[in-house]
Structure 1
Amino acid sequence: MTAVRNVHERVIDAPAAAVGALLDRLSAADDPIFPTPAWPRMCLDGPLAVSADGGHGRIRYHVTAYEPGRRVRFDTPPGGGLDGYHELTVAPLGAERCCVRHVLECETRGFFRLQWACVIRHIHDTMIEEIFDNIERAAAHGVARPMRWSPWVRLLHRLGWARPQAVASPAAAQLIRTSLDRTDYEDAYRMELLPGLPRDPAAWTGILRDAFPVLAQAGGELLLDVNTAGLTARASILIDERYVTLSTAVKVDGLRARLYWGVVKRVHPFMARSMFRRTHRTLALAAPSAGERSRAAALRASATGSPNAG
């Protein structure tokens, strides 16, 4: 068993009250500081409060202490290999400055000792510094030296990125459901629509690499004509509140099309998942950070005279 203590802190040129207000929005739909969509979002089973359960990605925890605007502590479940807590605090340093501090203390057992040293620590350190970056973006209007990923973190991020889940074609995907008089093959894959990812299905057409004609767009769904080598094929990109879903429908007519599809259908699922995953990650890395989105929302609210401005 190995004891771990990991501490990060940063002085922010903003009042503690302003930074504390950002802390209070952790895990909310408009969470301004957790670094998503580049990383899995923080999800709790209710509002930020003592006894709330949740986590991010594979890391699970529950809230054991919460002082609004000042402190939140998360404890990890016992027996998970990383037994301990992590805590985020905000302390004033005068009227216009404060210190944000994150402390992780845990005990690692067995294989988790190696996993902490080689994988988790590198990702953890990067994410915490990105949380601090987002606090500065949202409360202090800019980051002098934003966190830069090491080559090792980039590799870990690529290898660990989520993979599409095979599902039935969604009932809401009406365009592809009615696009062919019959289908000889159908499949669908979905991935989580993380905060900050595009909500316009047209932004996701890069999944298919080639510039296929758009046949229709309605109700959050985009229908593409992906005919090739005699196949009559359609692809649909559907955006809803939780997921982006890629669906395919194929109609095979004629000997040439049957021979072609007999080969292609063996690699199609792998290629579809691979291209979908690549596009999902590319868009996540290109998206504005949580701090940038929060700052932009505050500026829009200020311009419209909203009482929630800032």
Structure 2
Amino acid sequence: MRRFRTIRNVHERTIEAPAQAVGALLDRLSSPQDPIWPAPAWPPMRFDRPLGVGADGGHGFVRYRVTAHEPGRRIRFDFNPPMSGHHEFVIEPLAPERCLLRHTLQLQRRGPMAVSWALAVRWMHDTVVEEVFDNAARAATGTAVSPVRWSPWVRLLHRVTWPRATAGDLPTGARLVRAAFARTDYSDAWRMPMRPGMPRDPESWRGVLRGAPFPVVGREDGEVLLGEDAGHLDFRASIHADDGQVTLSTVVRIHNWRGRLYWAVVERVHPFMARTMLRRIHRRLALTAPSAAERAQPAPLSAARQGR
């Protein structure tokens, strides 16, 4: 029988707060008001039902299910096949106003997993867990002592693994861009999912067109329309945001042969530029968003995102 080596990774943090208080925060994992998971900088933890035994989901490409839940004390997640192993959070009381928060990961190292763990997954995993601990400390005590700082390698991994924009139709709710022209010679739409904590106001996303300061020609709930008219063609760009996704849409109306010639050249690079600009602002807004602990507080906590 072939035997596999086991990866074991343990993180611990002493928090100057009662175990009951920190346990209450842990029980809110994956909820809409999750105060400790480090989204939107990292993929949110999501399940097909409220947190409890049997809930199936995960974060990003890592899929798992809840196999044990002792409210206020422990949550265990078993990885879905083909992965084999588990990870869990445990809280241990140390004193009336002090507790230990521990995260343990055990994973069978098989084939490519050994290489990916050593080169990439381990470094991102360690950062995510330490950010969970930072948020637990902030939410429970108001501050995190020596918050985790991202290494240059983690920053590079984060940049290259950030999701790409995907193509789609003009959003149904983007009424301004849909009604921009009676006749449209070109249209496209690039979208990315919203993460918890990302701004829902489309004005916040206008930086997607940084370097191309087109004037605003229309505003409506959930949409900002920018554009410009010229003798050879007219152009409109829409930024539409709703609870699920943000979409950058483009429509073009061509007037004459000069417009057709111009657009024949621009059309070759436009899709690449549009999806690149959307991805860039999507990541920037995720990294500058308030932490989960800050969003959970009635008043802002002192910022502690210096390591990114």
Same fold (TM > 0.5): yes
Distance across 1 between alignment mates of 2:87 and 2:231 = 56
Q: Is the 8 A contact 1:137 1:295 kept in 2?
A: no
- 2:158 is paired with a residue whose SS is helix
> Which consecutive residues of structure 1, in runs of 5 or more, have no partner in the other structure?
300-310
The residue number in structure 2 matching 1:215 is 217
Change (3 A) 1:136 1:234: same
Moved over 6 A (4+): none
Distance in 1 (CA, whole Å) between partners of 2:112 and 2:176 is 49
* CA spacing shift, 1:86–1:228, aligned 2, 3 Å: farther
TM-score after normalising by structure 2:
0.94
Q: Distance in 1 between matches of 2:260 and 2:231?
A: 10
Please name the residue that 2:297 is paired with: 295
Within 5 Å, give how 1:125-274 maps onto structure 2.
125-209=126-210, 210-227=212-229, 230-274=232-276
For the residues of structure 1 that align with 2:215 and 2:266, how far apart are their CA atoms?
21
Root mean square deviation, CA, Å: 1.4
Residue of structure 1 equivalent to 2:88: 87
The alpha-carbon deviation at position 95 of structure 1 amounts to: 1.2
2:28 maps to a residue whose letter is R
Cα drift, residue 62 of structure 1: 0.3
In 2: Cα distance, 1:237 partner to 1:34 partner: 28
- Give secondary structure in 2 for the equivalent of 1:61: strand
Q: Which residue of 2 aligns with 1:2?
A: 5
DSSP 3-state at the match of 1:93: strand
Shift of 1:297: 5.9
TM-score where L is the length of structure 1: 0.93
CA separation of 1:16/1:213 partners in 2, compared to 1, >3 Å: closer, same or farther? same
Give the match for residue 68 of structure 2: 65
What is the CA–CA distance in structure 1 between the aligned matches of 2:136 and 2:38, rounded to whole Å?
Answer: 10
Deviations 1:110-145 (A, max 9, x none): 011100111110000000000000011111101120
Aligned mates of 1:298, 1:268 — CA distance in 2: 40
Q: What CA distance in whole angstroms lies between the structure 2 residues aligned with 1:91 and 1:226?
A: 61
Which residue matches 2:55?
Answer: 52
Q: In structure 2, do the counterparts of structure 1 residues 181 and 133 end up closer, same or farther at CA, with 3 Å as the change threshold?
A: same
SS of the residue aligned with 1:180? Answer: coil
For the 8 Å contact 2:231–2:255, the answer to whether it is kept is no
- Residue 77 of structure 2 corresponds to 74
1:20 is aligned to 23
Sequence identity percentage? 56
Determine the structure 2 residue equivalent to 1:303. Answer: none
Q: Which deviates further from its counterpart, 219-228 or 34-43? A: 219-228
Aligned to 1:38: 41
Q: What is the CA–CA distance in structure 2 between the aligned matches of 1:103 and 1:228, rounded to whole Å?
A: 61
Runs (5+) with no aligned partner, structure 2: 302-308
Post-superposition offset of 1:227:
4.4
